[in-house]
């Protein structure tokens, strides 16, 4: 069976409110919730997300890896957790960042998800330069074969939206 590429769109808003099959979470290695997108997804998804993280990832998840849990109370069916590199802590290997997006699509394919909402991974607290984070996201999502039909790049503010739109061309 031949695989295609997903249609990419930029939207500005709350990733937890996206009506898609799967929402991608920019998680930390511990997989127990945190700040930014991770905290918002755990708060909106409720305790079922954390319970599933504990069950599926008792030892957490390595940087650059992806895995899934229930979405709990979110409109989505699944949360695909990716652990982005912490640029501020010296994790500057871009392949760790791009592997988050490629891994998220691979997990979405395993789940049968056809629509996915994706944040800018590592561009917040982890300090990845915004324009490069946007370029890494768009380039990887454009070039990775997938059965996903729609990828929404969800921008959390005007700067992120501008960077994503510029990367999208």
d(C-alpha 89, C-alpha 126), whole Å:
8
Q: Which residues contact 89 (CB under 8 A, 6 or more apart)?
A: 126
Name the residue with tokens 């990716």. 82
Radius of gyration of the chain (CA): 14
Catalytic residue flag (residue 59)? no
In degrees, rounded to 5, the angle at the alpha carbon of residue 5 between the alpha carbons of residues 64 and 157 is 60
d(C-alpha 155, C-alpha 48), whole Å:
25
Q: Which is the catalytic residue, given 21, 38, 52, 86?
A: 38
Catalytic residue list: 38
């Amino acid at each position: 069976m031949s695989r295609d590429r997903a249609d990419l769109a930029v939207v500005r808003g709350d990733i937890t409110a996206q009506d898609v099959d799967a929402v991608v979470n920019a998680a930390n290695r511990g997989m127990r919730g945190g700040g930014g997108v991770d905290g918002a997804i755990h708060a909106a998804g409720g305790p079922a997300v954390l319970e599933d993280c504990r069950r599926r990832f008792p030892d957490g998840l390595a940087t650059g890896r992806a895995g899934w849990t229930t979405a709990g109370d979110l409109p989505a069916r699944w949360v695909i957790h990716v652990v982005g590199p912490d640029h501020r802590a010296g994790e500057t290997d871009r392949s760790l960042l791009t592997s988050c997006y490629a891994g998220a699509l691979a997990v979405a394919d395993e789940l049968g998800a056809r629509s996915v909402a994706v944040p800018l991974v590592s561009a917040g607290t982890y300090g990845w330069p915004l324009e490069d984070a946007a370029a890494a996201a768009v380039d990887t999502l454009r070039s990775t074969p997938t059965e996903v039909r729609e990828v929404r790049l969800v921008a959390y503010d005007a700067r992120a939206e501008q960077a994503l739109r510029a990367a999208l061309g």
